[in-house]
Amino acid sequence: MRLSALYRYPLKSGKGETLQQISLDKLGLEGDRRWMLVDEASGRFLTQRAVGRMSQLSALWNAQGGLTLNAPGFLPLDVAVPDGEAALRGVTIWQDTLRVPDAGDEAAAWVSEFIGKATRLVQVPPERARTTAAGYGKDDDQVAFADGFPLLLIGQASLDDLAGRVGRPLEMLRFRPNLVVEGSEAFAEDSWKRVRIGDVEFRVVKSCARCILTTIDPRTGERSADREPLATLQKYRTREDGAMFGQNLVNDGNGQLQVGMPVTVLE
């Protein structure tokens, strides 16, 4: 088996970035989901679930180490990583509440115009990261702004199986994985407990329950009228927690990943 694709999402629910290689840190892929949009009034996080056009929002790391925002009809905006003097903003992501640096008024004006209501852009430094969902992994496992865990892995054969059942090709980016593995059987990843990619070991901690976001075309931002592929997933992949597709991982240690690296199941 081999690592066939790497994806990073600098902004939670923004466009994905295809990579050939990347470093890992305590929070998963370096720079993955370290930024997030929140409603200015409530501090509640915003995603494509409620704001489908976020699929058209490009927010990629730039050469200065910050973020470059871009979207159709908008001029690009470079946003610096907030420094130690930046104001902290209280935010809520799922059941977690935390205080993180605000990216400033210029960025807020840009994202507010894009979203269509008062919105703030925030960033999470490692020392303010959340802990992962209780009952999974280790007590000191941490996550940035990803839903629950640092990394998501999907087998290419699993996507091929689903696409065959739906009856049309499906983009892997609908499911927003970080790691794609080639050479395994469909849904083989369901039974994995520990894997090694290159020199880095990963713990498989929880299956990923899928939601309406999978019905959004990552190229256009439009939702499928037939609720696919979620409707098909619900027919043959529903478990107690929902329709499962992909596995959440935690990396044990840092290191480098590169497309083409061998993937070994340790347990």
Q: Cα–Cα distances in Å, from 125 out to 59, 121, 255?
A: 17, 14, 19
Class of domain 2-28+132-265: mainly beta
The per-residue pLDDT string of the chain (267 residues; one tens digit each, 9 = 90 and over) reads: 999 999 999 999 999 999 999 999 999 999 999 999 999 999 999 999 889 889 899 999 887 779 999 999 999 999 999 988 889 999 999 999 999 999 999 999 999 999 999 999 999 999 999 999 877 888 889 999 999 999 999 999 999 999 999 999 999 999 999 999 999 999 999 999 999 999 999 999 999 999 988 998 888 888 899 999 999 999 999 988 899 999 999 999 999 999 999 999 999
At 171, give phi and psi (nearest 5°): -80, 135
- DSSP output for 193-250: SEEEETTEEEEEEEEEEP-GGGGB-TTT-PBPTT-TTHHHHHHHSEETTEEEEEEEEE
- Classify residue 66 by its DSSP letter: S
Residue position matching structure tokens 């935010």:
91
> What pLDDT, on a 0 to 100 scale, did the predictor assign at position 65?
76
- Residue ranges of domains in the chain: 2-28+132-265, 30-129
Distance between CA atoms of residues 234 and 244, nearest Å? 8
> What pLDDT, on a 0 to 100 scale, did the predictor assign at position 199?
92
> What pLDDT, on a 0 to 100 scale, did the predictor assign at position 135?
74
Nearest CA-CA partner of 26 in 179, 200, 266: 200
> What pLDDT, on a 0 to 100 scale, did the predictor assign at position 133?
80
> What pLDDT, on a 0 to 100 scale, did the predictor assign at position 63?
73
